[in-house]
Structure 1
Amino acid sequence: MSDMQDYKSSLSNAESRKFETFSYLPAMNADQTRKQIQYIVNKGWNPSIEHTEPENASGSYWYMWKLPMFGETNVDTILAELENCHAAHPNNHVRLLGLDNYAQCAGASMVIYRGKTV
Protein backbone atom coordinates (compact mmCIF):
# COMPACT_ATOMS: atom_id res chain seq x y z
CA MET A 1 0.00 0.00 0.00
CA SER A 2 2.94 2.37 0.22
CA ASP A 3 2.61 3.09 -3.52
CA MET A 4 -0.78 4.76 -2.98
CA GLN A 5 -0.80 8.40 -4.05
CA ASP A 6 -2.56 11.17 -2.15
CA TYR A 7 -4.32 13.55 -4.52
CA LYS A 8 -4.08 17.03 -3.09
CA SER A 9 -7.59 18.27 -3.77
CA SER A 10 -9.59 20.77 -1.78
CA LEU A 11 -12.70 22.89 -2.03
CA SER A 12 -10.63 26.07 -1.84
CA ASN A 13 -8.58 25.13 -4.92
CA ALA A 14 -11.01 24.56 -7.80
CA GLU A 15 -8.26 23.38 -10.15
CA SER A 16 -7.39 20.52 -7.80
CA ARG A 17 -10.88 19.04 -7.51
CA LYS A 18 -11.52 15.53 -8.79
CA PHE A 19 -14.81 14.41 -10.33
CA GLU A 20 -15.55 10.83 -11.26
CA THR A 21 -12.96 8.09 -11.82
CA PHE A 22 -11.35 9.51 -14.96
CA SER A 23 -10.40 12.75 -13.17
CA TYR A 24 -7.52 10.88 -11.58
CA LEU A 25 -6.07 9.96 -14.96
CA PRO A 26 -4.53 12.17 -17.64
CA ALA A 27 -7.13 13.93 -19.81
CA MET A 28 -8.57 11.67 -22.50
CA ASN A 29 -7.97 12.53 -26.13
CA ALA A 30 -10.80 12.45 -28.69
CA ASP A 31 -10.20 8.81 -29.61
CA GLN A 32 -10.19 7.67 -25.98
CA THR A 33 -13.40 9.61 -25.31
CA ARG A 34 -15.01 8.00 -28.36
CA LYS A 35 -14.01 4.54 -27.07
CA GLN A 36 -15.56 5.23 -23.66
CA ILE A 37 -18.80 6.32 -25.33
CA GLN A 38 -18.73 3.21 -27.51
CA TYR A 39 -18.34 1.14 -24.34
CA ILE A 40 -21.50 2.74 -22.91
CA VAL A 41 -23.35 1.98 -26.15
CA ASN A 42 -22.04 -1.60 -26.26
CA LYS A 43 -23.29 -2.21 -22.72
CA GLY A 44 -26.78 -1.13 -23.80
CA TRP A 45 -26.75 1.79 -21.36
CA ASN A 46 -28.63 4.98 -22.14
CA PRO A 47 -26.44 8.07 -22.52
CA SER A 48 -27.44 11.08 -20.44
CA ILE A 49 -25.73 14.46 -20.36
CA GLU A 50 -25.57 16.77 -17.35
CA HIS A 51 -23.82 20.06 -16.58
CA THR A 52 -23.18 22.32 -13.62
CA GLU A 53 -21.13 25.31 -12.53
CA PRO A 54 -17.65 24.34 -11.27
CA GLU A 55 -18.39 25.73 -7.82
CA ASN A 56 -21.42 23.40 -7.52
CA ALA A 57 -19.84 20.27 -8.99
CA SER A 58 -19.25 18.60 -5.63
CA GLY A 59 -23.00 18.59 -4.98
CA SER A 60 -25.24 15.73 -6.01
CA TYR A 61 -27.47 17.84 -8.27
CA TRP A 62 -26.36 18.57 -11.84
CA TYR A 63 -28.64 20.08 -14.49
CA MET A 64 -29.96 17.63 -17.06
CA TRP A 65 -29.23 18.51 -20.69
CA LYS A 66 -32.41 17.47 -22.46
CA LEU A 67 -33.79 14.01 -21.70
CA PRO A 68 -31.57 10.91 -21.55
CA MET A 69 -30.82 9.60 -25.03
CA PHE A 70 -32.85 6.39 -24.67
CA GLY A 71 -31.70 3.74 -27.14
CA GLU A 72 -29.14 5.98 -28.86
CA THR A 73 -26.34 3.90 -30.38
CA ASN A 74 -24.63 6.43 -32.66
CA VAL A 75 -21.44 7.69 -31.00
CA ASP A 76 -21.31 10.75 -33.28
CA THR A 77 -24.81 11.79 -32.19
CA ILE A 78 -23.79 11.50 -28.53
CA LEU A 79 -20.59 13.48 -29.16
CA ALA A 80 -22.59 16.17 -30.98
CA GLU A 81 -24.95 16.53 -28.00
CA LEU A 82 -21.99 16.80 -25.63
CA GLU A 83 -20.57 19.57 -27.81
CA ASN A 84 -23.97 21.31 -27.98
CA CYS A 85 -24.24 21.28 -24.20
CA HIS A 86 -20.69 22.61 -23.85
CA ALA A 87 -21.37 25.36 -26.42
CA ALA A 88 -24.54 26.39 -24.56
CA HIS A 89 -22.78 26.33 -21.17
CA PRO A 90 -19.06 26.97 -21.86
CA ASN A 91 -18.24 27.77 -18.23
CA ASN A 92 -19.83 24.62 -16.82
CA HIS A 93 -18.55 21.10 -16.32
CA VAL A 94 -20.28 18.69 -18.72
CA ARG A 95 -20.49 15.01 -17.88
CA LEU A 96 -21.77 11.92 -19.63
CA LEU A 97 -23.61 9.18 -17.77
CA GLY A 98 -24.36 5.68 -18.97
CA LEU A 99 -27.69 4.79 -17.35
CA ASP A 100 -28.17 1.07 -16.72
CA ASN A 101 -31.88 0.19 -16.97
CA TYR A 102 -31.41 -3.18 -15.29
CA ALA A 103 -29.51 -1.99 -12.21
CA GLN A 104 -31.36 1.36 -12.29
CA CYS A 105 -28.22 3.37 -11.67
CA ALA A 106 -25.38 5.01 -13.56
CA GLY A 107 -23.08 2.32 -14.93
CA ALA A 108 -20.59 4.96 -16.08
CA SER A 109 -20.04 8.62 -15.38
CA MET A 110 -17.30 10.88 -16.69
CA VAL A 111 -16.65 14.59 -17.02
CA ILE A 112 -16.07 15.32 -20.71
CA TYR A 113 -15.58 19.10 -20.48
CA ARG A 114 -14.26 20.93 -17.44
CA GLY A 115 -15.70 24.37 -16.91
CA LYS A 116 -13.72 27.50 -16.24
CA THR A 117 -12.84 28.03 -12.62
CA VAL A 118 -12.83 31.44 -11.01
Structure 2
Amino acid sequence: MAGQNRLMELNKLDEFRNEAYENARIYKENSKAFHDKLILRKDFQPGDKVLLFNSRLKLFPGKLKSRWPGPYTVVASLPYGAVQVHSKKMGHFKVNGQRLKHYLEDPVEKCKFVVILEPL
Protein backbone atom coordinates (compact mmCIF):
# COMPACT_ATOMS: atom_id res chain seq x y z
CA MET A 1 0.00 0.00 0.00
CA ALA A 2 2.82 2.41 0.87
CA GLY A 3 4.53 1.62 -2.45
CA GLN A 4 1.38 2.48 -4.40
CA ASN A 5 0.97 5.78 -2.51
CA ARG A 6 4.59 6.60 -3.27
CA LEU A 7 4.04 5.96 -7.01
CA MET A 8 0.88 8.10 -6.97
CA GLU A 9 2.78 10.97 -5.34
CA LEU A 10 5.59 10.67 -7.90
CA ASN A 11 3.04 10.77 -10.73
CA LYS A 12 1.45 13.88 -9.20
CA LEU A 13 4.89 15.53 -8.97
CA ASP A 14 5.49 14.78 -12.65
CA GLU A 15 2.12 16.30 -13.52
CA PHE A 16 2.90 19.45 -11.49
CA ARG A 17 6.31 19.74 -13.17
CA ASN A 18 4.82 19.36 -16.66
CA GLU A 19 2.15 21.93 -15.86
CA ALA A 20 4.81 24.36 -14.58
CA TYR A 21 6.85 23.92 -17.78
CA GLU A 22 3.74 24.54 -19.87
CA ASN A 23 2.84 27.67 -17.88
CA ALA A 24 6.41 28.97 -18.20
CA ARG A 25 6.31 28.38 -21.98
CA ILE A 26 2.99 30.25 -22.30
CA TYR A 27 4.31 33.12 -20.16
CA LYS A 28 7.44 33.43 -22.32
CA GLU A 29 5.39 33.44 -25.52
CA ASN A 30 3.12 36.18 -24.17
CA SER A 31 6.10 38.23 -22.95
CA LYS A 32 7.80 37.93 -26.34
CA ALA A 33 4.63 38.94 -28.18
CA PHE A 34 4.22 41.99 -25.92
CA HIS A 35 7.88 42.98 -26.36
CA ASP A 36 7.77 42.53 -30.14
CA LYS A 37 4.62 44.64 -30.32
CA LEU A 38 6.43 47.57 -28.66
CA ILE A 39 9.45 47.47 -30.98
CA LEU A 40 9.22 50.18 -33.59
CA ARG A 41 10.29 49.15 -37.05
CA LYS A 42 12.47 51.86 -38.55
CA ASP A 43 13.32 51.96 -42.23
CA PHE A 44 16.50 53.76 -43.17
CA GLN A 45 17.24 54.66 -46.77
CA PRO A 46 20.71 55.49 -48.11
CA GLY A 47 21.34 59.21 -47.70
CA ASP A 48 19.17 59.62 -44.59
CA LYS A 49 20.61 61.58 -41.68
CA VAL A 50 20.49 59.73 -38.34
CA LEU A 51 21.53 60.13 -34.71
CA LEU A 52 23.27 57.29 -32.86
CA PHE A 53 22.47 56.45 -29.23
CA ASN A 54 25.60 56.47 -27.04
CA SER A 55 24.99 53.75 -24.46
CA ARG A 56 28.49 54.05 -22.94
CA LEU A 57 27.80 57.46 -21.43
CA LYS A 58 27.39 56.20 -17.86
CA LEU A 59 30.47 56.88 -15.77
CA PHE A 60 30.67 60.67 -15.94
CA PRO A 61 27.77 61.63 -18.16
CA GLY A 62 27.79 65.36 -17.58
CA LYS A 63 24.53 67.01 -16.82
CA LEU A 64 23.86 68.46 -20.25
CA LYS A 65 25.78 66.06 -22.48
CA SER A 66 23.66 64.57 -25.21
CA ARG A 67 23.36 60.80 -25.59
CA TRP A 68 22.56 61.24 -29.29
CA PRO A 69 25.70 62.35 -31.19
CA GLY A 70 25.55 62.92 -34.91
CA PRO A 71 24.25 63.41 -37.49
CA TYR A 72 25.58 60.45 -39.45
CA THR A 73 24.71 59.51 -43.01
CA VAL A 74 23.17 56.13 -43.84
CA VAL A 75 25.18 54.25 -46.46
CA ALA A 76 23.20 50.99 -46.62
CA SER A 77 20.55 48.98 -44.79
CA LEU A 78 21.80 45.47 -44.09
CA PRO A 79 19.83 42.32 -43.17
CA TYR A 80 18.53 41.69 -39.65
CA GLY A 81 18.23 45.39 -38.73
CA ALA A 82 21.88 46.36 -39.15
CA VAL A 83 22.66 49.70 -40.77
CA GLN A 84 25.94 50.92 -42.23
CA VAL A 85 26.57 54.59 -41.47
CA HIS A 86 29.29 57.07 -42.34
CA SER A 87 30.86 59.87 -40.33
CA LYS A 88 33.68 62.18 -41.30
CA LYS A 89 35.71 61.27 -38.19
CA MET A 90 35.26 57.48 -38.11
CA GLY A 91 34.44 56.54 -41.71
CA HIS A 92 32.03 53.66 -42.41
CA PHE A 93 30.83 51.40 -39.58
CA LYS A 94 27.89 49.11 -38.83
CA VAL A 95 25.40 49.62 -36.02
CA ASN A 96 22.17 48.08 -34.81
CA GLY A 97 19.17 49.89 -36.31
CA GLN A 98 17.50 50.04 -32.88
CA ARG A 99 20.23 52.45 -31.73
CA LEU A 100 19.42 54.96 -34.49
CA LYS A 101 16.76 57.58 -34.92
CA HIS A 102 16.05 59.89 -37.82
CA TYR A 103 17.67 63.32 -37.69
CA LEU A 104 15.20 65.98 -38.77
CA GLU A 105 16.99 69.02 -40.05
CA ASP A 106 15.29 72.37 -39.67
CA PRO A 107 13.88 72.97 -43.18
CA VAL A 108 12.98 76.59 -42.47
CA GLU A 109 15.73 79.13 -42.35
CA LYS A 110 15.55 81.21 -39.25
CA CYS A 111 14.52 84.75 -40.06
CA LYS A 112 16.37 87.43 -38.24
CA PHE A 113 14.87 90.88 -38.08
CA VAL A 114 15.21 93.88 -35.89
CA VAL A 115 12.31 95.77 -34.36
CA ILE A 116 13.17 99.27 -33.28
CA LEU A 117 11.00 100.46 -30.43
CA GLU A 118 10.71 104.18 -30.12
CA PRO A 119 9.56 105.75 -26.86
CA LEU A 120 6.15 107.45 -26.99
TM-score by length of 2: 0.29
Which of 1 and 2 has greater Rg?
A: 2
Tell me which protein shows more helix as a share of its residues.
2
